[in-house]
Structure 1
Amino acid sequence: MMGLKERAFAPCVAVSLEELVPQDHFSRHLQKVLDLSFVYDLVHESYAAVGRPSVDPVVFFKLQLVMFFEDIRSERLLMRQVADRLSVRWYMGYD
């Protein structure tokens, strides 16, 4: 006898990245101890006053830190990691 799968859609449950990343994760520790606000002052003169907005320089710096700590050798692999790993997305500020 052939079985049929019934599709039963449950209501969406609201979940945030804050709930999904463990409290003892390295990204949380890094977020607490590393203040990257100096990056804005450091790169301010390199950006034009008008035009299209760029990637946030702190986010770019954090991506470079992820590449270093995770020993990722290419930016394509880095973007794949960012897409797949919730902890990296949390660290970048995508909540």
Structure 2
Amino acid sequence: YTVRGERVVGPRAHVEVVTTGVLLQRLQRDQELAGVDAVVLDECHERHLDADTAAAFLWDVRQALRPELRLVAASATTDAQGWSRLLGGAPVVGATGVSYPVEVV
């Protein structure tokens, strides 16, 4: 993972989890995101300036520089069809879950 001021990534890591702020900094330094095959926008229903800016930059990168860059929008509560349209007709994958009661003690 990488957060502001701390990076813990092994030499053989295949996945790196970063904050939206770290992603934006990387996009400023390297618009092509060299070495990155896919970006997962987790909790994409949480709309805020950094997340919307990152999504817009990634869309532009894919359109202009990296058509093979995979973008994944993940959320349990978002408008999946809207994101699918935004991502050029990307398939929607659903996963059902079971809610368990929570007892507050």
Task: Report the TM-score, using the length of structure 2 for normalisation.
Answer: 0.23
* Highest RCO, 1 vs 2 (Cα 8 Å, sep ≥ 6): 1
**Larger radius of gyration, structure 1 or 2?**
1
Question: As a proportion of its length, which structure holds more strand?
Answer: 2
